[in-house]
C-alpha cells in the first residue's frame, strides 16, 4: 500500500474527489499528472458488453443467464465461466465486470429472477464465490450486486424494502458476506432501493457497520447507475464511487462539502484509497493501452457456453422414456414461438450484442437434417409487437422540437434505439435532443397489422404519412426502459404484401424520472389466429414426435418490469394442450426466467426447462433432446402449481408488489422451499428437483459428530452410485433442521451440496463438512449467531421434497458466534 499512500499524499483534494465519480458512462478519469490510468467497467453478468449501448455495439459472447447457471449446481463450472468472462472483459479493454447478481428469488414474478442464481442463499453464495474467484483469478474485478434488498423491479429506484435484521442476516446478506469473506470480492454495487427507509447508497449500517466493520471488506462500493442521490450522506455512509459520469452530486459539490465541514478530508482520502486499491488490483493504474474493443469469438468459449447451457437444463418430466430421442426414426414436428427464434438472454442491462444466436430449429436441422423436420409456429409469445427490421436513417436535432437543420446524420439496422452517454458524435446534449428516423416496412401478408410504440421520451410513428401510434401526446410512465419509458401504445394499419410502406418515427427527450436515458422501440405484427393452432395440430398428427418450444423472452423477463403472472403469454397453453391431444409423444421445451404454470403437464410426455442458455441455445437444446448431452440441471427455484401458492402471495399489496413506497418482506425467512414446507402447499416441482437419463443410488450416510459439542462441526459421508446404463450426474443435497429452536426456524435449510458425474456402475464417496454457522441462527437483540443446545436433524436427498435419509446429532451447550 506504500504506492497508494504516496499517491494520496501527492494528490490535491480535487484530484481525490475526481476518483469518486465516473468521467462518463463506463469509466473513471485518469490523473495524468500522477501517472494514474483510467479504470473501465463493463456490464455483465452473462457476458461483457463493453462500452456501447444496450443495443448494438461490438459483439460479445453470450453465456447462460444466472438462473441457468444456478440450475447447474456446479461450483467448478461457475469458476470456469468466471475465468472465461475475464477474457471477454479484457477484449473490451475493461478492468471490472459488473457482476455477479446474487439477489434472492423472493417472488416468482420478479422480472430480474433470470439474472439471479436461486431462491436459496447457500446455493447462491457458493456459486457466486466460484464465479468471483474465476474472474478475479484472471485480474478482472468483480462487482457483486445489488446490495441489498433488491428482489423486485416495481418502483425499483425509490421503493423501500422493509426487511427485519434476522431475515437479512440469514437470507439476503448471505451471498454478499461469502463474496467478501471467502472470495474477497474487489467490488460491491449498492442497490437502487431503500432498505428500511434509507437508500442503500447512503445506508451507513449496510455500507460501513456490516460491510466494512463486521465483514472486513477492503474493496470499492459503487452505486448502481444513477442510484446515488446525495453528496455528504453517500460519502459519509461508505459509497466510494458515484456512477455514471459526469458527476451529479460530487465534483465541486463534494469539494464544497469538505470546505464546509459536512465531509471530512480524511473520509475523502479513505474513499480515494479504496478506488486506488481497485486500480492497483486490476492493473488499471498502469494501463496505458489505447482503448480498443474486439469481438473475440473464441472456439473455447463457444464450447464452454454449449456445455454449461446443457448442464443447466432441467428434465422435469419423461414419461415412458420419451427422451432422449435418438436413435429414433420418424418425422419430428417442431412447433411454437420459440422454435425458430433463439431466446438466448433476458432483457435490461444484462443484454448484449451476441456473436450469433442458434435457434432450436437450427440446432435440430444441424443435428438431424432438414428432411425429418416440419415446422409450425402455432402461437406468438411476444410482449411487444415484432421489431421493425431494416435500415433506418436518423437525423439528430440539437433541440426537442425537431427544428432547424439536423446537426448529425446516422443509420441503424432496426426501429429500436437506446441512447446513453455520448450520442450523435457528441453533437447533441443526450438529455436535450430530438431525432427523426426514416425507413420502410414490407409486409409478407396483406391485412390489418398492429403497430406498437413505446419510448423513454416522446415519440410518434407515421406510416405513409398517417399518424398510427402516438407515444407523444398524453405520455405516461410505464414499465419499459427501466421504468423510464411508457407502456406500449398500439395502433392499426392496413398494409399490403410486398409493398414498401414508408415509416417515420419522431422522437424528443423529456425530463428523466431517475435514470438519464432516452430510447424508443417500434414494432409491427399480424396476429396469428385459430388457423395457426390448427396447422400445428396437423403437423403433430403427421409426426412421430412433437416438440413444442414455448415460454417467454427478454421482453417479459427483464430488468425494470415484474411479471403480472406466471401464465405462459398469449395462447401458448392452448397450443400445448391441442398438440398433446394430437400426439402422445409431445415434449415441451420451456424457455423462461423462472417458474410458469403448467395446466397441461399430465397430458404431455416430456418437459425440459431450458432457461435462456446463451448464444449456443439451439445446439445445447438439441444436444439434450437427442442425448448427446444429459440434462444436468436441478431447479434452483421452486415451481408452484399456481401463482397464488408462492411465498409473496398476500391480500396486502404492501407485501407484494408494494404500496405507498414500501414493500414489506412479511414472510421473513420462509422464502422458496421453506415456505412450501411451512404451509403444507405442495409445489409443482420442488427446489432441487431434476430427472436424469440415468439412475442413481445413495448409501446410508455415515455421521461423525465427535466434534459437535466442542465446536459444532459434523462430518457426513455418503456413497453415490450410478446404477443406470448411461453416464450422468446427480446432485446430493444436505439440509439441516433445528428440532428444538427457541426462535421459529424453517423445518430444514440447505447447508451443503455436491454435483457428481459418474460413469455407469461407478461409485464415489462424498464428504460434507458442516461448520458452526450451518447450525446457527441470528439473534438481533444480542447481535450474534447462536448454536443452541438440543437436537438437529440432517436430511440427505435429491431435492427439498425427496429426502432419502435422515440422522440426528445433539449438543448439551450453546455456542455463540460473532457477526
Q: Are 203 and 172 in contact (CB under 8 A)?
A: no
Cα–Cα distance measured from residue 240 to residue 17, given in angstroms and rounded to the nearest whole number: 10
End-to-end alpha carbon distance in the chain: 27
Distance CA 323, CA 646 (A): 30
Q: Annotated catalytic residue: which of 24, 120, 164, 224?
A: 224
Contacts of residue 775, defined as CB under 8 A and 6 or more positions apart, other chains included, come to 712, 736, 738, 787, 792
Buried b or exposed e, range 315-335, using 16+ CB within 10 angstroms: bbbbeeebbbbeeeeeebbbb
- Residue whose entry in the numeric block shows the C-alpha cell 447481535: 783
| Prior bond of 804 cis (ω within 30°) | no
Q: Which residue matches cell numbers 401458448?
A: 572
Strands (E), 632-713: 662-664, 696-698, 702-704
Kind and range of the H or E run holding 729: strand 728-738
The C-alpha cell that represents 183 in the structure block: 472470495
In whole angstroms, what separates CA 705 from the centre of its chain?
Answer: 39
The position carrying cell 421520451 is 457
Which residues does 109 contact at the CB level (< 8 Å), separation at least 6?
562, 563, 564, 565, 566, 594, 643, 646
Beta strand 662-664 with 160-162 is parallel
224 a catalytic residue = yes
Q: Cα(485)–Cα(518) distance, rounded to whole angstroms?
A: 8
Whole-angstrom distance, CA of residue 714 vs CA of residue 721: 23
690 close to 634: Cβ distance less than 8 angstroms: yes
Sign of CA dihedral 622, 623, 626, 632: negative
Beta bridge partners of 395: 409, 436
Strand, coil or helix: 427: coil
Phi, psi values for residue 805, rounded to 5°: -145, 150
Say which DSSP state 260 is in.
T
Q: Which residue has the cell 454495487?
A: 189
For Cα atoms 221, 211, 278, give the angle at the middle one, nearest 5 degrees.
35
Strands 220-223 and 198-199 turn out to be: unpaired
Q: Active-site residues: which are they?
A: 224
Amino acid at each position: 500500500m506504500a504506492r497508494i499512500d504516496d499517491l494520496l499524499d501527492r494528490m490535491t483534494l480535487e484530484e481525490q474527489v475526481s476518483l469518486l465519480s465516473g468521467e462518463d458512462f463506463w469509466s473513471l478519469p485518469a490523473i495524468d499528472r500522477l501517472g494514474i490510468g483510467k479504470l473501465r467497467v463493463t456490464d455483465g453478468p452473462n457476458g461483457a458488453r463493453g462500452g456501447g449501448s444496450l443495443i448494438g455495439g461490438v459483439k460479445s459472447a453470450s453465456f447462460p443467464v444466472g438462473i441457468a447457471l444456478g440450475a447447474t449446481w456446479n461450483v467448478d463450472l461457475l469458476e470456469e465461466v468466471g475465468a472465461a468472462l475475464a477474457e471477454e472483459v479484457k477484449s473490451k479493454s475493461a478492468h471490472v465486470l459488473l457482476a455477479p447478481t446474487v439477489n434472492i428469488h423472493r417472488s416468482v414474478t420478479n422480472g430480474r429472477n433470470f439474472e439471479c442464481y436461486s431462491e436459496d442463499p447457500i446455493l447462491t453464495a457458493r456459486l457466486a464465490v466460484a464465479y468471483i474467484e474465476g474472474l478475479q483469478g484472471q485480474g478482472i474485478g468483480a462487482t457483486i450486486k445489488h446490495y441489498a434488498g433488491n428482489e423486485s423491479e416495481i418502483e425499483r429506484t425509490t421503493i423501500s424494502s422493509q426487511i427485519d435484521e434476522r431475515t437479512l442476516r440469514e437470507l439476503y446478506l448471505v451471498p454478499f458476506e461469502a463474496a467478501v469473506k471467502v472470495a474477497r470480492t474487489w467490488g460491491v454495487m449498492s442497490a437502487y432501493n431503500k432498505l428500511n427507509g434509507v437508500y442503500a447508497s447512503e445506508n451507513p449500517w449496510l455500507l460501513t457497520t456490516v460491510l466494512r466493520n463486521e465483514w472486513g471488506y477492503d474493496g470499492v462500493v459503487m452505486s448502481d447507475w444513477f442510484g446515488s442521490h446525495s453528496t455528504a450522506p453517500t460519502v459519509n455512509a461508505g459509497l466510494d464511487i458515484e456512477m455514471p459520469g459526469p458527476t451529479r452530486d460530487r465534483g465541486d459539490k463534494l469539494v464544497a462539502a469538505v470546505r464546509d465541514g459536512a465531509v471530512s478530508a480524511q473520509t475523502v482520502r479513505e474513499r480515494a484509497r479504496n478506488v486506488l486499491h481497485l486500480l492497483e488490483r486490476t492493473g488499471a493504474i498502469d494501463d496505458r493501452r489505447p482503448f480498443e474493443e474486439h469481438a473475440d469469438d473464441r472456439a473455447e468459449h463457444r464450447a464452454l457456453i454449449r456445455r454449461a447451457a446443457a448442464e443447466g437444463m432441467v428434465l422435469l418430466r419423461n414419461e415412458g422414456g420419451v427422451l432422449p430421442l435418438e436413435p429414433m426414426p420418424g418425422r419430428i414436428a417442431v412447433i411454437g414461438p420459440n422454435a425458430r427464434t433463439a431466446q438466448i438472454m433476458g432483457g435490461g442491462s444484462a443484454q448484449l450484442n451476441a456473436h450469433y444466436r442458434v435457434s432450436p430449429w437450427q440446432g435440430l436441422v444441424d443435428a438431424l437434417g432438414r428432411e425429418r423436420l416440419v415446422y409450425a409456429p402455432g402461437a406468438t409469445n411476444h410482449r411487444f409487437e415484432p421489431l421493425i427490421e431494416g435500415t433506418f436513417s436518423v437525423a439528430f436535432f440539437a433541440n426537442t422540437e425537431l427544428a432547424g437543420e439536423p446537426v448529425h446524420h446516422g443509420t441503424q439496422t432496426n426501429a429500436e434505439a437506446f441512447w446513453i452517454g455520448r450520442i450523435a458524435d457528441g453533437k447533441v446534449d443526450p438529455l436535450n435532443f430530438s431525432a427523426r428516423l426514416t425507413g420502410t416496412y414490407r409486409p409478407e401478408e396483406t391485412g390489418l397489422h398492429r403497430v406498437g410504440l413505446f419510448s423513454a421520451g416522446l415519440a410518434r410513428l407515421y406510416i405513409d404519412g398517417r399518424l398510427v401510434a402516438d407515444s407523444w401526446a398524453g405520455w405516461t410512465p410505464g414499465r419499459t426502459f427501466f421504468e423510464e419509458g411508457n407502456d406500449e401504445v398500439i395502433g392499426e394499419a392496413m398494409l399490403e404484401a410486398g409493398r414498401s410502406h414508408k415509416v417515420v418515427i419522431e422522437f424528443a427527450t423529456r425530463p428523466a424520472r431517475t435514470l438519464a436515458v432516452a430510447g424508443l422501440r417500434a414494432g409491427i405484427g399480424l396476429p396469428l389466429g385459430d388457423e395457426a393452432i390448427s396447422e400445428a395440430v396437423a403437423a403433430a398428427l403427421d409426426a412421430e414426435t412433437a416438440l413444442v418450444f414455448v415460454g417467454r423472452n427478454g421482453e417479459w423477463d427483464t430488468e425494470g418490469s415484474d411479471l403480472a403472472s406466471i401464465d405462459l403469454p398469449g395462447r401458448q397453453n392452448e397450443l400445448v394442450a391441442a398438440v398433446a391431444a394430437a400426439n402422445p409423444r409431445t415434449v415441451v421445451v420451456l424457455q423462461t426466467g423462472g417458474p410458469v404454470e403448467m395446466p397441461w403437464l399430465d397430458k404431455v410426455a416430456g418437459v425440459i426447462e431450458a432457461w435462456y442458455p446463451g448464444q449456443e441455445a439451439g445446439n445445447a437444446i438439441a444436444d439434450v433432446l437427442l442425448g448427446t448431452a444429459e440434462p444436468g440441471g436441478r431447479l434452483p427455484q421452486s415451481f408452484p402449481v399456481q401463482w397464488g401458492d408462492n411465498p409473496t402471495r398476500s391480500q396486502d399489496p404492501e407485501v407484494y408488489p408494494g404500496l405507498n413506497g414500501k414493500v414489506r418482506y412479511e414472510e421473513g425467512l420462509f422464502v422458496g422451499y421453506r415456505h412450501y414446507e411451512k404451509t403444507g402447499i405442495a409445489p409443482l416441482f420442488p427446489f432441487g428437483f431434476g430427472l436424469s437419463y440415468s439412475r442413481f443410488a445413495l448409501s446410508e450416510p455415515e455421521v461423525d459428530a465427535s466434534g459437535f459439542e466442542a465446536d459444532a462441526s459434523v462430518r457426513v459421508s455418503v456413497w453415490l452410485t450410478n446404477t443406470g446404463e448411461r453416464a450422468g450426474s446427480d446432485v446430493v443435497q444436505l439440509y439441516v433442521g433445528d428440532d428444538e429452536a427457541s426462535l421459529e426456524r424453517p423445518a430444514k435449510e440447505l447447508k451443503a451440496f455436491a454435483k457428481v458425474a459418474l460413469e455407469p456402475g461407478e461409485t464415489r464417496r462424498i464428504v460434507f463438512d458442516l461448520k458452526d454457522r450451518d447450525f446457527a441462527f441470528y439473534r438481533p437483540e444480542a447481535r450474534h449467531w447462536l448454536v443452541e443446545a438440543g437436537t438437529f436433524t440432517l436430511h440427505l436427498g435429491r431435492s427439498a421434497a425427496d429426502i432419502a435419509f435422515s440422522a440426528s446429532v445433539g449438543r448439551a451447550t450453546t455456542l455463540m458466534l460473532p457477526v
